[in-house]
Structure 1
């Protein structure tokens, strides 16, 4: 019997318990799944980084800590966490992110905000360029970034991507390193941020980085709020260096009511909905990784502690 501890908000338990149980059964695993197990008996911890388990030291027998979130910056630095840590990568999460990014990229490319504002009885044709004439840059080419870059390329955009390590994606110009970052920013009429939040990427999009963008660029950030220096973005919006920013993640969440992003006409705020972890598509990933951990096989999406993701 494999003892699996579910450590997330109490409200999450009803929506997760049956998909997890079904996925474990489909994988042929005999599992005792619950929210309360004696630490000495736990084999696997399935957790949200903000869940009730914050001290992992008592769970030394656990062979896996499986995060329910794609981002692990809230847990990877926990010094009590010495067990193998896996981040969540699942088909539903990826599909949701691709749809969000493609939808907002097309929205800005087609100038839909201006079109909707123009519904005042005046016939004013606003013809956008073709996608092939629009430069889109994706920063971060992990599982989510690569999928988004590939979809944007399939839509016909001229896509560049940047990552810490070299990548190859069909139809995408991929660059790495400091020089590569400057090059991709210069062609980013639409800039999509999907980098993990690490010591190296915190505040990466500052006044210097924004200064490399072509005038009137648009930013779409469904990645991590800490990637952006808020004051520098607001300044760039005021000067017109950045035309609009669609932001889904923020340094403080929920975004405080007094934050200037809420009232700024050049900012669209969405409440961290770009892509959620859906139990029905994520539970099979948990089951697969549980089976792998118990069999001593390689764990999917294992976090590199040194890199932070």
Structure 2
């Protein structure tokens, strides 16, 4: 029983021992060392090279190293009948909650204005809203979005959520579909994007939707770079309709050193670290699903390829 670990991003030195600890009988090969491709039953991957997965004739399941699967689905040669599994792990959820709460609180409690005052040795308290007076909108109510919405509601923020289909989250005003979208945007002083990247959601952070937000809104994108129309962000910041943005994901990564986002003080840039997969915890879910596959049982967290998540 052999698994191929195939990614340019995650360190096999973390993953190989973690997988072996969970399944001592599992042989783990690290791309590009394939050996005999016919031996490989499972692939654990992130943005694999096009054609790699199609070259494995006995592949039984593909496991994503992250919560998103758009990088895998982008492979035009992806075998259509092989089950694709998204990563669901407590470490991913915990990391995303930490990141979103951090960015919401940093803007709500005016971290950057106070840092600017510190550099000038200026002692000047600024007017401050209460959390219950601040409206936060979470766009995308999957596993990560619901967890973030609940965490923000627990801090007493006025939280709304929006998703393709209606969800129910305690303490969160949930809307869905096109009819609920304008209302959701109009009340979101802080907009958090945690949507899956699909044909329907690509470019959803655009000039038209920025204009629907309240004046002075703050945008957080911790989903995928493809959600943001980058050329629309700077004009919205320059004209003052948006007050700032926190971006963890970008259309091209790593972000080019000469990209204007680096130098704009209204934009907080982080290098795709909002929600990291930790091998020491995530290996358990991979091993459990391999055991299900070997026993002929349905796999957990299967991706609906038509929806893209």
- TM superposition score category, shorter chain reference: over 0.9
Aligned to 2:108: 109
Displacement after TM superposition at 1:234 (Å): 0.9
How many aligned positions are there?
A: 303
Aligned to 1:180: 180
Query: Does the alignment pair 1:33 with 2:31?
Result: no
Of 16-25 and 75-84, deviating more is 75-84
Please, what is the CA RMSD of the aligned residues? 1.6
Distance 1:201 1:11, change over 3 A: closer
Whether the 8 Å contact between 2:46 and 2:71 is mirrored in structure 1 is no
The residue correspondences of 1:27-176 to structure 2 (distance < 5 A) are 30-35=25-30, 36-50=34-48, 54-78=51-75, 79-82=77-80, 83-119=82-118, 120-176=120-176
Deviations 1:115-154 (A, max 9, x none): 1111233331114211111000010111111111110111
Whether the 8 Å contact between 1:7 and 1:53 is mirrored in structure 2 is no
Of 12-21 and 58-67, deviating more is 58-67
Whether the 8 Å contact between 1:222 and 1:248 is mirrored in structure 2 is yes
Q: Distance in 2 between matches of 1:162 and 1:11?
A: 31
Aligned to 2:3: 4
Deviations 1:194-238 (A, max 9, x none): 111111111111111001100100011111111111121111100
Q: Which runs of 5+ in 1 are unaligned?
A: none
Deviations 1:66-91 (A, max 9, x none): 11122111111323323111111111
Displacement after TM superposition at 1:34 (Å): 2.3
Q: Distance in 2 between matches of 1:274 and 1:10?
A: 15
Q: For 1:298, what is the secondary structure of its paired residue?
A: coil
Of 168-177 and 9-18, deviating more is 9-18
Q: Distance in 2 between matches of 1:24 and 1:200?
A: 39
Whether the 8 Å contact between 1:249 and 1:272 is mirrored in structure 2 is yes
Aligned to 1:208: 208
Q: Which runs of 5+ in 2 are unaligned?
A: none
Whether the 8 Å contact between 2:92 and 2:277 is mirrored in structure 1 is yes
Distance 1:139 1:11, change over 3 A: closer
Report the TM-score, using the length of structure 1 for normalisation: 0.94
Aligned to 2:305: 305
Displacement after TM superposition at 1:255 (Å): 0.9
Report the TM-score, using the length of structure 2 for normalisation: 0.94
Deviations 1:31-76 (A, max 9, x none): 22223342222221112223x5743233232221111122111111
Q: Distance in 2 between matches of 1:170 and 1:22?
A: 38
Deviations 1:5-42 (A, max 9, x none): 222239722111111111224xxxx3222233422222
Whether the 8 Å contact between 2:136 and 2:192 is mirrored in structure 1 is yes
Query: Does the alignment pair 1:240 with 2:240?
Result: yes
Q: Distance in 2 between matches of 1:140 and 1:113?
A: 27
